Chains A and B, each alone.
Chain A
């Protein structure tokens, strides 16, 4: 089974778009988590978000199941972003 054509695209989409969502969401979560002034926390969130992006891309390709990857990444992103905003009191 070669990793080409549609199979590649089907994985690239969740890796790039889902990974982007996860990176942003984990950045937002980190801001909520860190007990430091807001500007500093946002800086830290931005700093570490890219590591999550790379991990997400690798995760999707290790999983090799586009639909499941989409679901997992979007679900995780939603939970992370929401809890980050909740922790900083932005949703209430």
Chain B
């Protein structure tokens, strides 16, 4: 014991800042590509329902203006027919951009349905192409798609923790955070990348900190189950008890086992809309329908507050009487400080409240985060190149690997995302598991880019992949023109900003990639022979 300590004391001591630099580097590098993936797909997720809409152009216009009572009647009829004995019916009403069409699911003792999106007028599923849509793209940022939750949760959790550590250490090691606030020194290779990486981190630091910490909170119970288990035990029953203690509104009961018809929801809807305003019911959660102890929970739409915690009403499902409102007063946004803080962080993370201006700012901040992760990864290779240039011997295997992975991930992943959109329009409509193949197309395209990056010299592969990305994004509006009626000519004329916004945004990305590709292509020496100092630094 003592010997170990002594031997370490003998090693020349390093300053605190150097330790933090080392930690920053390794925390960033270890899961940097995962972080980039999380950032980019999560950023796309800020436009999840807009992407949904583009990927199912057959669907009718959003049904948010239909009277809630009519929609509920249609959906209840279907639930009564399909799952009369279920323990829980759950109806999401089309309230705003987040839910353009009604959704429902039911849970029974032994079986349950998935969440289904249906037509508010018929209660039946729409006849539209099979797709994962923007929802799948957004869910990827924490489910990593092919991985089971038992694996994706810890991977994403640790990536997020590393991100938090990298942010804190990044601030610590940034010597002149205020003096260098506006400083960017272009064209000098390493220093330009250093400046860019720092600027991308600093200008959106509040966003980065918020999105990282709230990301940890969203995975909180899965990452740190022992805090719950220490007090509630490890069996599922204890866990349910915790969820009930922490989140459920008061007044919920176990089923009595005595049948009693569900009271009509019309008066409850009227009560809720009197309190909140018309069309502001977000979901209706019916526990133990058909039992004497049935409860009907109404949840207010969250579109007018940053926090996801809004008022809930608890009705007696048998008599129809209003039992509780939670929180008890209309001014409080949550009934406990801890839940209030959690709701606020989750609300900030998801940004469901954000009207167009804020949504764009979220999207932009997300892009800054992606670019920060990417520039950090590139910066590492540039520093390494300089170090190996000074020493004898060629570049190590680690450096070569990171250089190639960087091109294949940073430029390759956007190409994969574009491929996802292309597959949505080009795969045959009757293909079995069509939605699955859309995603396979995304990852196959990405894999192809990784292979491409592994085979080509990095300076080349960056330029080539940016060129491919330029085409893949820039031509999407053209693809849309040939494969749907909602092309730019139509959407702009009709003022349909969901479709026009998608097409114009992808066009913008296409142009940006084209610009980047051109810049890289024009660096003549780097094209012929890979020279580390000029590879990315000089040409951008």
Listed in ascending order, the chain A residues whose CB lies under 8 Å from chain B are 1, 3, 8, 12, 16, 23-24, 27-28, 31, 36-47, 49-51, 53-54, 57-58, 61-62, 64-68, 81, 84-85, 88, 90
A48 and B231 alpha carbons, distance in the complex (Å): 17
Give A46 to B223 CA distance when docked, in angstroms.
9
Q: How far is the CB of B157 from chain A (nearest CB, A)?
A: 9
Q: Is B161 an interface residue, CB under 8 A from the partner? A: yes
Decide: A81 and B338 in contact? CB cutoff 8 A: no
Most buried by B among A37, A38, A43: A43
Chain B residue, CB-CB nearest to A31: B231
Asked whether, in the complex, the Cβ of B242 is within 8 Å of the Cβ of A39, the reply is yes
Q: B19 contacts which chain A residues (CB < 8 A)?
A: 3, 61-62, 64
Main secondary structure, interface of B, reads helix
The reply to whether B230 and A31 contact each other, CB–CB distance below 8 Å, is: yes
Q: Which residue of A lies closest to B336 (CB)?
A: A40
6 shortest A-B CB distances, which residue pairs?
Answer: A39-B245, A3-B22, A27-B227, A39-B246, A44-B338, A43-B338
User: Which one of B132-140, B143-151, B163-171 is at the A interface?
Assistant: B163-171
Separation of A28 and B231 alpha carbons in the complex (Å): 8
Interface of A is mostly: helix
Within 8 Å CB of B158, what residues of A?
16
**Interchain nearest-CB distance for B56 vs A (Å):** 37
Instruction: Tell me which residues across on chain A come within 8 A of B224, comparing CB atoms.
Output: 23-24, 27, 46, 49-50
- By a CB distance below 8 angstroms, the chain A residues around B220 are 46-47, 49-50
Residue contact B20 to A43, C-beta cutoff 8 Å: no
Shortest beta-carbon distance from B2 to chain A in Å: 10
Q: Which of B13, B223, B246 contacts A40 (CB 8 A)?
A: B246
- Which residue from B5, B169, B213 sits with its C-beta under 8 Å from A65? B5
Q: Is the CB of B20 within 8 A of A42?
A: no
Given A31-B230, A90-B231, A50–B216 Cβ distance below 8 Å? yes
Given known contacts A23-B224, A50-B216, A67-B5, A42 and B231 CB-to-CB distance under 8 angstroms = yes
Q: Within 8 Å of chain A (Cβ to Cβ): is B16?
A: yes
In the complex where A36-B338, A47-B217 touch, is A3 in contact with B16 (Cβ < 8 A)? no
Q: Which residues of A contact B232 (CB under 8 A)?
A: 42
* B109 contacts partner chain A, Cβ-Cβ < 8 Å: no
Residues from chain B with a CB closer than 8 A to the CB of A12 are 26
Q: Determine how close the nearest CB of chain A comes to the CB of B169; give it in whole angstroms.
A: 6
